[in-house]
């Protein structure tokens, strides 16, 4: 080891140094994943750009405002125009329920956000969680080094 690394990390044991290095690399990978997905928000502001994310936002807003029972029985006349669509029976509501739960949780903590901001920032948050889960899965299947490379 060089003099700089010995001066900074010399107090720690070899295992603690490895753990600190793994945690640092994994944190950087999660921050980079979050930042990459956040780039469009920083460049174009907090706007929903495409049809599918807008549909997810609209259904999440309905779920947050009216509850799950109304959401499950909701007939949306604006989807699949002019026929309409029964929303509760034709979609997988996991994304909407997650965003609505986060929205209500933050409002319970007196952090007031619109449903749109929760929907926009859910993708960068899940991106950083994906980097961490990729590390955990790959390090379990192969090695810690492969897990760090896969997460990054």
Distance CA 77, CA 65 (A): 18
pLDDT tens by residue, 21-72: 889 999 999 999 999 888 877 787 777 777 678 888 899 999 999 999 999 8
Burial class, 63, CB count within 10 angstroms (exposed 0-12 / middle 13-18 / buried 19+): buried
Q: 134: number of CA atoms within 13 Å, CB side?
A: 17
Cβ within 8 Å of residue 104, ≥6 positions away: 64
Q: In the chain, what percentage of residues exceed pLDDT 90?
A: 34
Lowest mean pLDDT among 9-18, 54-63, 127-136: 9-18
């Amino acid at each position: 080891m060089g003099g700089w690394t010995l001066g900074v990390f010399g107090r720690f044991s070899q295992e603690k140094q490895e753990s600190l290095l793994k945690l640092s690399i994994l944190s950087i990978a999660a921050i980079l994943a979050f930042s990459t997905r956040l780039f469009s928000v920083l460049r174009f502001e907090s706007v929903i750009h495409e049809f599918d994310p807008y549909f997810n936002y609209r259904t999440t807003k309905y779920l947050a405002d009216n509850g799950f029972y109304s959401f499950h029985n909701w007939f949306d006349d604006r989807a699949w125009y002019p026929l309409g669509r029964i929303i509760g029976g034709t979609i997988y509501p996991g994304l909407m329920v997650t965003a609505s739960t986060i929205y209500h949780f933050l409002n319970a903590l007196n952090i007031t956000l619109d449903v749109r901001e929760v929907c926009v920032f859910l993708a960068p948050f899940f991106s950083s969680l994906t980097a961490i889960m990729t590390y955990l899965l790959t390090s379990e299947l192969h090695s810690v080094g492969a897990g760090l490379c896969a997460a990054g």
